[in-house]
Amino acid sequence: MIIRNAKVFSDGCRFVEKDLVIRDGRIVFGAAPQPGEEILDAQGAYALPGLVDIHFHGAVGHDFCDADEAGLQAIADFEASKGVLAICPATMTFNEEILNGIMDVAAAHKNDRGADLVGINMEGPYISPDKVGAQNPKYVMAADAGMFRRLQARSGGLIRLVDIAPEVPGNLDFIKECHNEVRISIAHTCVDYETAKEAFAAGASHMTHLYNAMPGITHRAPGPIIAALEEGAEVELITDGVHIHPAMVRFTFRTFGDEHVILIADSMMACGLPDGEYSLGGQAVTVRGPRATLTEHPGTIAGSATCLYDCMKHAVLDMDVPLVSAVRAASLNPARSIGIDADYGSLEPGRWGNVILADHQLNIQKVIRKGEVIVG
């Protein structure tokens, strides 16, 4: 396949008008056309890399934690239709027995048409009982290296991220012991500035859904966000228009730099479906418009109902984030974060031919998965 005349996101995170050639599913540049080769004229369109979501829970009525192969494939198919072609779904806070089933299904998954399952984000259960958010407090526990390693073996090595509340006794020891085996993210935490600095020194390098389920910034208690800034950590942002005010989104891109920001959806099973009653981590959730909240605690946000592509689009069109910054934060940065950037997250030679063609309002025209048009 040859894609001609597109404004291609490449070459140091900028747009360059050039042709893209995809052979055997992967991108090459400068290859001569072959007889009968499919040619797409993308004049005036942006060519974006397939997006990479490293933190979301489900879509179209299915949850990753349902531990159901048909549901996982339905999620992968939906995500691919929205231009998200690599997924690293998140577990909720459960015990090891329940997590075992989730790992088994993930390890056995053989996707051949939807988004590729490239990892697992273990969001629970090593979090603070005082910052559970929409997680189930019944299963919260201190970090356990043995348990993590058993789950990692069971998943076939798919766990890419483990979320930790560093202030919980024993959790700093877990960071020191395991940070060379998996990326450690500070999450669902009451941690102060000093302890957060200790956690980064011990090997943490990531912040889960920044600003949410953690202390904020004050002038006498700067908290974990300032510690993350000083230590050069990468930070997740949910730009669904519900979780974070647009001014704070702009502030984050300016202060952390777009090389450190990762856009995530944090979507739950209602994504792609109408308003109604759903569930997340075994708890009832009510969805009205873009807002998902715990039914019994309507002041608690329970993930989002927005896919990553639409989060990226909101960031650009409604929050004044530069297009190149938003695209980088939804593709290259997450791919690098979990170590899959040799195959995903950019349109450089050698990567999979995962391409989104979009107009100047970021409406999707085509989605191309490994050189095959699947949308448009």
Active site residues: 266
Other Cβ atoms within 10 Å of 203 Cβ, number: 18
Distance of CA 119 to the CA centre of its chain: 10
Give the CA distances from residue 332 to residues 29, 203, 238, 249, in Å, rounded to whole numbers and listed in that order: 19, 22, 17, 19
HSE-CB at 302 with a 13 A cutoff on CA atoms is: 29
212's torsion region: left (phi>0), alpha (psi -120 to 50) or beta?
beta
Contacts of residue 147, Cβ cutoff 8 Å, sequence gap at least 6: 96
61: closest CA among 274, 244, 207, 259? 274
| Bond from prior residue into 125 cis (ω within 30 degrees of 0) | yes
Distance between CA 332 and CA 356 in Å, rounded?
Answer: 14
Chain center to CA of 304 = 12
Token pair, residue 325, equals 């910054």
Host H or E run for residue 221: none
Q: How many residues does the chain have?
A: 376
- Using CA atoms, how far apart are residues 294 and 190, in angstroms rounded to an integer? 21
Task: Find the angle CA(340)-CA(86)-CA(284) to the nearest 5 degrees.
Answer: 125
- Say whether 335 sits in a helix, a strand or coil: helix
Q: What is the CA radius of gyration of the chain?
A: 20
The H or E element containing residue 66 is: none
- CA–CA distance, 153 with 286 (Å, rounded to integer): 36
Tokens representing 4?
């001609």
